[in-house]
Amino acid sequence: MATSLPEFASFDAENRENIEIRWQRWFMRFENLLIALDIKDKKRKRALLLYYIGESTLNIFETLPETGTEDDYDEACQALNEHFKPRKNTSFEIFKFRKTNQLVDETLDQYHVRLVQKAKYCEFSNLDTEIKAQIDRY
């Protein structure tokens, strides 16, 4: 019995900007799709993951070490999660955070969200203080 699969956007691995955040969001949406479709079998989950990630991401996946066997969904996810986790240069991340200004058409709430996302990799000891200081600068 053939089943038609719902449409679901593939992951754009070629765009490296904010790749970890974009991957986390895509993966969360994919896991929600699996829940909505009531898919529990790990072999089927893995097959759907490899189908939906798209060709460019599949090409990356095929080069990764330790992706598990055909029924190992968790190991496939772990390999992709590790790949899309950027190597961190805390000093450079702090520099980028400090250069972040509020955009002309950006609300304070939108600016705050953007700062929280940028601060994620800065390893600040007091995130709230740093964000408030950045907002107060401008």
Residues 59 and 73 in one domain: yes
Residues 69 and 110 in one domain: no
Residues 79 and 23 in one domain: yes
Which pLDDT band, with edges at 50, 70 and 90, does 69 fall under? confident
Residues 98 and 72 in one domain: no
Residues 26 and 80 in one domain: yes
Amino acid at 15: N
pLDDT surpassing 70 at residue 60? yes
| Residue 34 tokens, joined | 């699996």
User: Domain for residue 126, yes or no?
Assistant: yes
pLDDT, tens only, 21-53: 899 999 999 999 999 999 999 999 999 999 999
User: Domain for residue 40, yes or no?
Assistant: yes
Provide the 10 A C-beta neighbour count for residue 8.
15
Q: For 1-8, what is the mean pLDDT?
A: 78
User: Domain for residue 114, yes or no?
Assistant: yes
Give the pLDDT of residue 1: 47
pLDDT surpassing 80 at residue 110? yes
Per the listing, tokens 């702090």 go with 94
Write down the mean pLDDT value for the chain: 91
Mutual angle of helices 73-83 and 19-36, in 10-degree steps: 160
Residue after which a domain boundary falls, among 40, 59, 84? 84
Residues 28 and 77 in one domain: yes
User: Domain for residue 14, yes or no?
Assistant: no
Q: How far apart are CA 8 and CA 33, in angstroms?
A: 9
Which pLDDT band, with edges at 50, 70 and 90, does 86 fall under? confident
In order, the DSSP letters of the chain are ---PPPP-PPP--S--TTHHHHHHHHHHHHHHHHHHTT---HHHHHHHHHHHT-HHHHHHHTT-S----TT-HHHHHHHHHHHTSPPP-HHHHHHHHHT----TT--HHHHHHHHHHHHTTT--SSHHHHHHHHHHH-
Number of domains in the chain: 2
| Residue 26 tokens, joined | 């895509």
Residues 77 and 95 in one domain: no
Residues 103 and 62 in one domain: no
Structural domain including 107 reads 90-136
Which pLDDT band, with edges at 50, 70 and 90, does 85 fall under? confident
Residues 32 and 79 in one domain: yes
